[in-house]
Amino acid sequence: MRHTLSIIVADQPGELSRIVGLFSARGFNIETLSVGSTLDPRWSRVTVVTSGDDRTVEQIVKQCERLARVREVRDVTSQPHVEREMALIDVSATPGAARQEVLSLVSVFRAKVVDISHTRMLIEASGNREKVDAFIEMLRPLGINDITRSGYIAINRVSHEEGSQESEVESQNESYAAVLHSDS
Amino acid sequence: MIAEQLITKTKPVPPFGVGADETLPRGAEVLLQALVNEGVDTIFGYPGGAVLHIYDELWRYREQVTHYLVRHEQGAVHMAEGYARASGRVGVALVTSGPGATNAVTGIANAYMDSTPIVVITGQVPLPLIGTDAFQEVDTVGITRPCVKHNYLVRDVRDLAGVVREAFFLARTGRPGPVVIDIPKDVSAARCAYSRLDHVAFPFREKKGRPDPTSIARAAAEIVKSERPVFYVGGGIVNSGASVQLLALAERLQIPVTPTLMGLGGFPSAHPLCMGMLGMHGTYAANMAVAESDLLVAVGVRFDDRVTGKLATFAPRARVIHIDIDPANIGKNVAPTLSIAADAGEALAALSKEIESHKASTKTGIAKRAGWWERIRGWQHEQPLRYSGSSDKIKPQSVIRELHRLTKGRAVITTDVGQHQMWAAQFYPFDGARQWITSGGLGTMGFGLPSAVGAKLARPDELVVAVVGDGGFQMTNQELATAVQYGIGVKVIVMNNGYLGMVRQWQEMFYERTYSEVDISVAPDFVKLAEAYGAAAFRATTPAELADTLAAGLAHPGVAVIEVLVSKEENVFPIVPAGANSRDMIVQEP
């Protein structure tokens, strides 16, 4: 099963490599990894998407907790959470139908055009796993030249209440995915 | 006040990087003062370019800190380990950058596997040269990262005192282990004011677990009513100093105890409740009891593969209560039915207290276990540890028996790794904790002699004997020079069979006697070798000579090497083949 772990670690040289080294030394899987600062500049947040059965993931959490500079390890997946990834996509878009097609997909997926040439466009897209994957799948027939993905970041929900802004967006994204999948 | 003292002791050093106020102490002095403040009076080390400032300062501190000059950096770390394990204090090693650090890695990994508290200080090239492939540069923190509790590259001399303090805290707290401090040469030369830092605010939480009362209550209830319980106890008992609590609880409930290799001495071997060691070369009774047990109480252990064999068939009928200070050990190899992440001594004391409220069931439980004890006594009677005697060849097991007799079971024994190690574990019944110092997890040949040197310095009034094989001895025998130089009177028993015996045994048993590259009979004359180093030397070649030769060697006041020519193709029994289940144990020579 897929798990997203949020690891709060001291923002010091070498600390990330301790975490990454631990994963490889113990044979744990890293699907995506992203690192950034937290509100407190002394601490960084490492978000790791990993997979394994419950025992493996429990072991990963405990092994990470042993690290002297790790303050907290949370399996975000076990609670309501929001997860996002960003992708920058270089796609072929010659003037005419191809460019129109890219622009309409960009609009449907609420992506953004960040650069353009006579033959190509650079698109910025973000969302949950399904959305970004679906968007890339839709662009693929048009000719993707290059792609870079940020890896997932995640945070627990502030509320479980229905009707919060986040969940509206979320359900919107889900419906996009549903529509687009039925389309293909 | 200390800073003032330091100032008066300081003298100018060659300028290196920082042109700070020369009345301030340099990094090397800050380091030494910080070590003294941690109670360090013994350092094992080897100098080199990157640690010249530190060695210069060490000379000025020689009244407070004694440095033992080793002959190879691996020896320095093993000595620090032997010192730590014999005393329970943090051992300290000091080596230079590059090859000094890489030579130390084996010892660091060994300490990591066996949870031994040591601090290893490594020199590093000056900060501006880091990353330039400079002379004797190696990424020490990178190389040691997977085998330390924590490590540091000190980039600013102002961090140094705090780093030392934290390093010692980490090494000895929770599950003990090695910590590496890498100090660039210019940092040891840079100057800064020293403050004692009584209250260092560590930017991380203290991770020492206290036993959870609910779990203790549940565990106590299970233990008292169990019919076929076994205490499976390991190095955590020794590290925690929990022998007294374990003995009290086992005796109160009349529950059999089996120590692991690392746990030997944590429970008195000659005690009627002790079944001897379990695992690959454990006793028949201990392995059978674990296989038949309905409740395994595992304390300070990590379910190592040398203990469990095939995991799927390990203790198949038992519920498992796992007590360990390292939460990551719990559920790693075996999923327990109940777990307590806590210090072994604290947990056992809490259990003892808790069972006081189960007086009635304690009594009925003891009565219920009469049948269990009958079966255990049966196994012990059926298949005791044994070996066949010989009139012309010295049996290696008899060497250990004789050693036990001559030392009245009171010596501190260290070993290398292999057959002699297993015979020592089997045939020297250890009475107390910290009497047995062996390389368990990493299985490091060459551990015996240097760890004995460290142990002897920690406990100078006791007899310290390194039991080694002819293979392992040749990996670190140069440390005889260290022992002789400082008059550290260790005794070394070299069990010489001309083979890498354990590998030969496996080739005999599992590879159709294909003795591939195990013949090391072309070896130095160990008596001449010892004499060349200035040690006293003895040799026993026949069973008739054994007792007198051993006695003479052990009685020698200085460093003594006793070579014993033992029967060449003796095997260690019982043996559970790797990955097999304990019922497949081969009890004796077919």
Quick one: pLDDT at residue B183? 98
Q: B150 and A69: CB-CB below 8 Å?
A: yes
Q: A62 and B207: CB-CB below 8 Å?
A: no
Give CA–CA dist B504/B41, Å, rounded: 43
Give CA–CA dist B163/B484, Å, rounded: 34
Give CA–CA dist B103/B97, Å, rounded: 10
Quick one: pLDDT at residue A99? 96
Lookup: tokens for A55: 């025992």
Q: Does B332 touch chain A (CB under 8 A)?
A: yes
Nearest to B328 among A17, A55, A59 (CB): A59
Coil, helix or strand at residue B246: helix
Q: Does A56 touch chain B (CB under 8 A)?
A: no
How many Cβ pairs within 8 Å bridge chains A and B? 43
Q: Does A84 touch chain B (CB under 8 A)?
A: no
Quick one: pLDDT at residue B19? 62
Instruction: Report whether pLDDT(A177) > 60.
Output: no
Q: How far is CA B546 from CA B122, B394, B468, B524, in A?
A: 44, 8, 16, 21
3-state SS, B293-340, equals CCEEEEECCCCCHHHHCCHHHCCCCCEEEEEECCHHHCCCCCCCCEEE
Confidence of residue A44 (pLDDT cuts 50, 70, 90): very high
Q: A59 and B331: CB-CB below 8 Å?
A: yes
Q: How far is CA A22 from CA A37, A57, B9, in A?
A: 21, 13, 44
Blockwise average pLDDT, block size 10, chain B, 590 residues: 41 47 91 96 98 98 97 98 98 98 98 98 97 97 97 94 92 96 97 69 56 96 97 98 98 98 98 98 97 98 95 94 96 95 96 96 96 98 95 97 98 98 98 97 98 98 98 98 98 98 97 98 98 98 98 98 98 93 86
Give CA–CA dist B339/B225, Å, rounded: 18
Nearest to A58 among B142, B204, B331 (CB): B331
Q: B328 and A42: CB-CB below 8 Å?
A: no
Phi, psi (degrees; rounded to nearest 5) at B587: -85, -35
Quick one: pLDDT at residue B579? 87
Question: Which residues of B fall within a CB distance of 8 Å from A71?
Answer: 204-205
Q: Does A10 touch chain B (CB under 8 A)?
A: yes
Lookup: tokens for B493: 């028993």
Question: Which residues of B fall within a CB distance of 8 Å from A42?
Answer: 203
Q: Does B208 touch chain A (CB under 8 A)?
A: no
Quick one: pLDDT at residue A164? 45
Q: A55 and B170: CB-CB below 8 Å?
A: no
Q: Is B278 exposed, middle or buried (0-12, 13-18, 19+ CB in 10 A)?
A: buried
Question: Which amino acid appears at position B122 of this protein?
Answer: T
Q: A69 and B204: CB-CB below 8 Å?
A: yes
Lookup: tokens for B255: 């529950």
* DSSP label of B499: B
Residue A101: which H helix or E strand, with range?
Answer: helix A97-108
Lookup: tokens for B261: 């290799």
Taking alpha carbons only, the member of B158, B115, B123, B114 closest to residue B141 is B123
Q: Is A46 exposed, middle or buried (0-12, 13-18, 19+ CB in 10 A)?
A: buried
Residue B413: which H helix or E strand, with range?
Answer: strand B412-415
Q: How far is CA B555 from CA B161, B180, B403, B489, B490, in A?
A: 44, 39, 12, 10, 11
Taking alpha carbons only, the member of B566, B517, B503 closest to residue B540 is B566
Question: Burial letters for A105-136: b for 16+ Cβ neighbours within 10 Å, e otherwise?
Answer: bbeebebeeeeeeeebbbbebbbbbebbebbb
Give CA–CA dist B239/A13, Å, rounded: 32
* DSSP label of B172: H
Q: Does B327 touch chain A (CB under 8 A)?
A: yes
Residue A123: which H helix or E strand, with range?
Answer: strand A120-127
Quick one: pLDDT at residue B589? 82
Question: Which residues of A fall within a CB distance of 8 Å from B153?
Answer: 13-14
The residue in chain A having the minimum alpha-carbon distance to the alpha carbon of residue B206 is A68
Which residue, among A20, A24, A40, A58, would best test binding to B if mutated, counting the most B CBs under 10 Å from its CB? A58
CA of residue B549 relative to chain centroid, distance: 29
Q: Is B187 exposed, middle or buried (0-12, 13-18, 19+ CB in 10 A)?
A: buried
Q: Does B153 touch chain A (CB under 8 A)?
A: yes
Give CA–CA dist B52/B69, Å, rounded: 14
Quick one: pLDDT at residue B22? 81
Q: B203 and A58: CB-CB below 8 Å?
A: no
The residue in chain A having the minimum alpha-carbon distance to the alpha carbon of residue B208 is A66
For tokens 């995640």, name the residue.
Answer: A154
Question: Which amino acid appears at position B269 of this protein?
Answer: S
Q: How far is CA B448 from CA A127, B103, B383, B571, in A?
A: 59, 17, 30, 21
Which residue, among A66, A69, A72, would best test binding to B if mutated, counting the most B CBs under 10 Å from its CB? A66
Phi, psi (degrees; rounded to nearest 5) at A182: -65, -30
Quick one: pLDDT at residue B532? 98
Q: Does B331 touch chain A (CB under 8 A)?
A: yes
Q: Does B335 touch chain A (CB under 8 A)?
A: yes
Active-site residue list of B:
73, 135-136, 185, 502
- Are B177 and B117 in contact by the 8 Å Cβ rule? The answer is yes
Question: Which residues of A fall within a CB distance of 8 Å from B205?
Answer: 71
Confidence of residue A173 (pLDDT cuts 50, 70, 90): very low
CA distance B206 to chain A (A): 9
Give residue-wise pLDDT tens across range A6-16.
999 999 999 99
Q: Does A71 touch chain B (CB under 8 A)?
A: yes
A positions 120-149 inside 8 Å of B (CB): none
